[in-house]
Amino acid sequence: MGPFEVMAIAIVAVFGVKAYKEFNHRKTSVDTSEVDALKGELVKLQERVATLETIVTDKSYQLGEQIDRL
């Protein structure tokens, strides 16, 4: 293997390592506005679930369900 082949392999390896580092950097960076939007949506969904839980555990709702089953 000649010196030019070794140099070519070294250059390709350096570019490969840089490309891999850039790929990992872009993969781990997250858009904070998207995360904030998802957090807001999560809070809204948690409030809706809490409301549904109070409706279902309400005595009058359970009584209505029992009457409907009859």
pLDDT digits (tens, 9 = 90+) for 2-33: 888 888 889 999 999 999 988 888 777 667 78
Task: Report residue 66: phi and psi, to 5°.
Answer: -65, -40
Domain ranges of the chain: 1-30, 31-70
pLDDT at 33: 83
User: The pTM is what?
Assistant: 0.48
Averaged confidence pLDDT in the chain: 85
Distance (Å, whole) CA 70 – CA 66: 7
| Nearest C-alpha neighbor of 11 from the set 27, 3, 26, 22 | 3
Which contacts qualify for 42-46: CB closer than 8 Å, 24 or more apart? none
Distance (Å, whole) CA 19 – CA 25: 10
